[in-house]
Structure 1
Amino acid sequence: MPPMNDSHPLYFILLGIPGLEDVQRWISIPFCCMYILAFFGNIIILLIIRSEKSLHEPMFFFLSMLSMTDVILSSSTLPKMLGIFWFNLREIAFEACLTQMFFIHSFTAMESGFFVAMAFDRFVAICNPLRHSAILSNKTIVIVGVSVVFRGLVFFLPHPFIIKSLIFCQTNIILHTYCEFMAVMKLTCGDSTMTKSYSLTVASMMGVFDLLCIITSYTLILHTALHLPTKQAGLKALSTCTSHILVILVFYTTATFTFVTHRFGHNIPPQIHISIANIYLLVPPMMNPIIYGVRTKKIQQRIVHVFYHAGA
C-alpha cells in the first residue's frame, strides 16, 4: 500500500501511456511542439485582440475567451506530462491531482461552451447581419461568457470533493498521463456506480446539448450561404465554416470516444484510449489560433503589421 493520509494516498503515480513506455520520449516531441504552438499562438491572439480596437467585436471577444481557455487547459496537463516523459517525474500530490482534475474537466466544458458561442456569432453574422450588433451587444457577450464559465465551474466543482470523500484501498498508480476523473475513480473501493453515472451523465448531456446547438447553427449558415445573391459571398462563408467545423469535429470526436470508452470500451487497449484522450486536450488548443485567428483577415493584417514594424 502507498503512504496514506486518513482514507486517501498522499500522492499518486502517473504511469503515462501504458505499453508505450519505451517510446514516450519520442511521443513527447510532437506533444511539446503542439503545446508550444498552442500556448504562444493563443497568447499572441489575446495580445492582438486586446491592443487592436478594431477587433473589439463579438467574434473576437469570444475568440479571446476561447484562447484564454486553451492556454489554461493545455497548461494544466502538458508540463506535468512532459515531466513524466522526459524526467520520469511521475509523482503528483493528492491535492494537486484533484486540482488538475478540476481544471481539465471544467475548462473542457468551457471550451465546448465557447465553440457554441462562436457558432452562434457566425450564425447571426451570416444569417441576420443587420441585427448582429443588436443581438450580440456587449451586455449579451458578458452574459454568455459568464454563463459558459459558471456552467463549467458549477457542474464539475463536485468532482474533487467526491474523490476526497471516497476511500482508497488499492494502488496509487493512475494508468494515465494526467488525473482524469474516471481513471482516479478506478482506484477507490466500494460501489461507485452512482458517482461514475453522475460524471458521465453531466459530461454527455452537456456535450450533446452543445453539439446540437453547433450543428443547428452551421446547418442554418449552410442554408443561407447557398442562397446568397453572389457566388463569391457564399463560397467565402462556406470556407470559413468548413475550417471551423474541422476543429470542432476533432474536439468532439475525440472527447466522445474518450467518454464512450469509459462506459463501454473496456476491451480497448489503454494506449489507444489514453493517446486519444490527450488529443482532445492538445490538438484543438493548437488549431484554434490558426483556424479562428490567423485565417481571419483582420488578425492576419494585424500580425503582418506587427512583424513589418518589428523588422523595420
Structure 2
Amino acid sequence: MATRNTVVKVFDAPANLVQKSGAQVLQFAAFDVDRTGRAYISEINECFRSHNVEPKRFYVDSFANGIVTYTCFFDPTFQGEALEKLAQTLRYVSHFKHNPRKSGLVWELVLNNKITPEHAIFLITAAKFIFSFFPKETEEYLALADYFESDPSKKSELDTLFRDTMANAITYERIYDALTSNYELTLPMFDDFKKVATGLCKPFYNEELAAKVDDQVGSRFDAKILKTLLKLSAHLQMTNFFKAGTASAIAMRFDGEVLADRPRTLFSRIPYAVYLVVGRSFYGFHIRFTEIARGGIRLILSRNRQVYKKNCATLLEENYNLA
C-alpha cells in the first residue's frame, strides 16, 4: 500500500479460521484518499456476480490511515485459475465509475452480464481517447484556416474561436451512448486491444471491423465514434492495462501518427509519442517530440462542471502547444 492505491492478494486460509482444509482467502485493500469512508462493496459484489461465485465469509475493515481492506473466504472448490481470474478482475475495482448517462451506461452492461468488468474499464478509458482524438474540424473551419494562413493574427483569432466551440462538437454522453448501444462491436475491439497490449500482434487498424461498423451502425456519427476507437489499437505502443498488480491510473502510449489525420493548422508537427493517463478522478496527456524529454505536471482544477467541460474540450490541443 506504500506505492499503490489498491492491492489484491490470494493466500491459503489459516487452519484455525476455517472448517475445511484447502480454503483460500482473497484480500483486497484500497486507499481512501479523501477519508470519506468510500467502500467498494457493491463493485466487489458485482465482480463476484460476474464470475458466478460467492464468498463464504466477507469482512470489511477500515483503518485510521485511510486504508480499507476486504477479506473474502472461499470454499476449497473455488481456487486455482478461477480464483486468479477473479483477483485479476478486482484489480480494476478502483477505476469503476457510475456517472449517470455516461459510465453508468457501461456499468449497466456489467450488471446484465453483457460485458466483463475488465471490458468496462476499457470502454471508460476509450471514451477519453475518443473525446480527445475524434476529428472535430469542420469543412468551414479548414477552409477559413487556409484562407487566413498568411495572416497570423486572424488565424490566431480563428483558432481561439474554434477551441471555444469544440466542446459542442462531441459530448461524453453521445460517446457512451454510441459505445453501449453497439457494445457487441466493441467486443472484438477489446480483443484486438488485448492482443496488441500483450504483444501477441503488432498495432493494426482492423479494416474488416471498420467495414462492419459502416454496415451495421445506422447513425453516421455513431459509426465515426466507433471507428475513432479503432485507432486506439492501431497506434498503441504500450500500456499497463494488463500488467500484474494494480495501478492508480491506466496509462497508454501511442505513436505520434495518431495525430497524422488531424489538420496541420492545429498540429503542425507529428510528435514522437503521446501518452494518455486516466485515473478515477483525473486524466491528462504527456506529449513529447523527442525520445528523451523533460517536463513537469500542470494541474488544471475546474471550479464547476461547465468549466470542466470546456477545459476537457481543449486539453489535448493545450498539451500539444505547451509541449
Normalising by the residue count of structure 1, what TM-score does the alignment of the two structures yield?
0.28
Larger radius of gyration: 2
Q: Which has the higher contact order (CA 8 A, sep 6+)?
A: 1
Q: Which has the larger helix fraction?
A: 1
Normalising by the residue count of structure 2, what TM-score does the alignment of the two structures yield?
0.27
